[in-house]
């Protein structure tokens, strides 16, 4: 993607880039070193030149008044600061966000979250740098808007280098969702906090990935390493998440009177689940999935592969755990070596749910097997098309029968 970034005036910059459709898009930015903290600042000003100039003047005026762009207010008077050496307790003196981010991680339900590692990264890289010095009682809706503006005007970092791809709005929404959860936990624990409205600021994408056709699956399987091929096939059969696949052990395979199933530890049913039974995911262990397990067991039995010390089923040949980076590398390799575009490993869940829907599986069975506890989330994964409806209702065969019948009637007359 071609782009330019030019200085057109004091503190005033223009960025132009070519979109996927071939159109050139212009965005304006303010960039300067603020007087209060001597930090370099960059603010998106929009695509309209006149409006951008007005916003720049306001920012420059705020900077002259020693505006604190981190806190979203003028520098606080000294008497508002807590006495030196006396830590805030969060209930009499409200925590700063940086202080609360440390306390937040001490709660058991937070430590048990499967997304904890991702949450820690988002807090460290994005939330704490922006909200860190701000008191929990000072985070207002306008502050959230400024955070959105600052993040959407940024460039993502890939493997230590700036990427040409800007931060997507969905990524910012994930960060805001984590912030809202952190503030609500503070409210639950009765700390001093104000939880602003996040309405319309957390934007969810309509689509949740796509399914791979049979032809596409064959192409990528031919490129994958053997361990990745098994992982992908097993995922389409069971609809387990990537994390559940990498954590899968023999203990999670259960035999029922009707056949085997997979019940992953700490299954995916989370939202809207109110009982222990609802919180348990039960994935199918189909004939093909069971064949894959038997292949792995046979290799370990004859010494072709080394068993994992923790009992993990899907591992490298030397018994070491498969990493997310390895999976992403295999997907990137398939994208480069085939004509297939825009898919991730998570798309295998879309593929499984869509195929189940084509076979006529009920929504209740599909949701329990996939670990979805809301119909809305389930619908994001199912990708039925026009031909699927025609096939299900046999409209093609019915139409042919009607035409033939009408022709016979005409001939008989």
Tens-digit pLDDT profile for residues 66-75: 787 776 555 5
Confirm if 236 and 352 have CB atoms less than 8 A apart. yes
Confirm if 44 and 166 have CB atoms less than 8 A apart. no
> What is the share, in percent, of the chain residues with pLDDT greater than 70?
83
State how far the Cα of 411 lies from the Cα of 413, in Å rounded to an integer.
Answer: 5
* Model pLDDT, residue 17: 76
Give the pLDDT band (50/70/90) at residue 78: very low
Domains, in order of start, for the chain: 1-78 (no CATH), 88-205 (1.10.150), 214-382 (1.10.443.10)
* Model pLDDT, residue 16: 85
From 59, 133, 54, select the one nearest 98 (Cα to Cα). Answer: 133
- For 110-157, write each residue's pLDDT tens digit: 988 878 888 999 999 899 999 999 999 999 999 999 999 888 866 665
State how far the Cα of 16 lies from the Cα of 4, in Å rounded to an integer.
Answer: 5
Neighbours of 289 (CB within 10 A): 22
DSSP H or E segment with residue 30: strand 24-33
Tell whether the model's pLDDT for residue 313 goes beyond 90: yes
Tell whether the model's pLDDT for residue 79 goes beyond 80: no
State how far the Cα of 204 lies from the Cα of 176, in Å rounded to an integer.
Answer: 11
State how far the Cα of 364 lies from the Cα of 367, in Å rounded to an integer.
Answer: 5
- For 161-187, write each residue's pLDDT tens digit: 556 667 888 889 999 999 999 999 999
Tell whether the model's pLDDT for residue 205 goes beyond 70: no
Q: What is the pTM of this model?
A: 0.59
Confirm if 186 and 136 have CB atoms less than 8 A apart. yes
- For 336-367, write each residue's pLDDT tens digit: 999 898 889 999 999 999 999 999 999 999 99
* Model pLDDT, residue 227: 95
Distances (CA, A) of 200 to 47, 142, 197, 395: 21, 13, 9, 42
Q: Which residues are within 8 A (CB) of 284 and not within 5 positions of it... i.e. 6 or more apart?
A: 237, 238, 239, 261, 262, 369
* Model pLDDT, residue 290: 94
State how far the Cα of 181 lies from the Cα of 204, in Å rounded to an integer.
Answer: 16
List residues bridging with 73 in a β-sheet: 68
* Helix, strand, or coil (residue 87): coil
State how far the Cα of 238 lies from the Cα of 284, in Å rounded to an integer.
Answer: 5
* Helix, strand, or coil (residue 133): coil
């Amino acid at each position: 993607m071609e782009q330019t970034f030019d200085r057109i005036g004091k503190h005033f910059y223009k960025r132009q880039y070519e979109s996927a459709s071939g159109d050139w898009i212009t965005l304006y930015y303010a960039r300067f070193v603020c007087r209060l903290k001597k930090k370099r600042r960059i603010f998106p000003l929009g695509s309209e030149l006149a409006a951008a100039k007005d916003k720049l003047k306001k920012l420059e005026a705020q900077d002259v008044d020693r505006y604190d762009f981190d806190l979203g207010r003028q520098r606080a008077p000294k008497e508002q600061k807590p006495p030196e050496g006396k830590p805030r307790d969060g209930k009499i003196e409200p925590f700063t966000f940086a202080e609360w981010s440390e306390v937040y991680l001490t709660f058991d339900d937070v430590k048990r979250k499967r997304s904890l590692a991702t949450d820690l990264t988002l807090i460290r890289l994005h939330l704490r740098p922006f909200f860190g010095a701000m008191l929990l009682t000072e985070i207002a809706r306008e502050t959230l808007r400024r955070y959105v503006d600052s993040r959407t005007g940024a460039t993502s970092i890939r493997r230590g280098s700036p990427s040409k791809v800007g931060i997507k709005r969905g990524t910012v929404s994930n960060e805001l969702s984590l912030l809202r959860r952190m503030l609500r936990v503070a409210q639950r624990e009765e700390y001093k906090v104000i939880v602003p409205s996040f309405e319309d600021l957390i934007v969810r994408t309509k689509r949740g990935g796509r399914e791979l056709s049979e032809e596409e699956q064959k192409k990528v399987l031919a490129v994958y390493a053997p361990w990745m091929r098994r992982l992908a096939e097993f995922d389409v059969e069971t609809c387990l998440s990537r994390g559940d696949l990498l954590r899968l052990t023999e203990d999670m395979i259960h035999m029922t009177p009707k056949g085997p199933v997979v019940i992953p530890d700490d299954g995916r049913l989370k939202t809207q689940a109110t009982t222990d039974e609802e919180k348990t995911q039960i994935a199918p262990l189909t004939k093909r999935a069971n064949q894959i397990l038997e292949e792995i067991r046979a290799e370990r039995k004859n010494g072709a592969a080394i068993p994992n010390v923790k009992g993990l089923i899907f591992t490298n040949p030397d018994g070491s755990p498969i990493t997310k980076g390895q999976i992403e590398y295999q997907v990137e390799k398939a994208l480069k070596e085939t004509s297939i575009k825009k898919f991730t490993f998570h798309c295998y869940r879309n593929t499984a749910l869509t195929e189940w829907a084509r076979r006529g599986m009920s929504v209740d069975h599909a949701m329990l097997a996939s670990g979805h506890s809301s119909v809305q989330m389930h619908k994001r994964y199912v990708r039925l098309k026009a031909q699927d409806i025609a096939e299900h209702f046999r409209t093609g065969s019915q139409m042919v029968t009607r035409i033939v019948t009408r022709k016979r009637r005409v001939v008989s007359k």
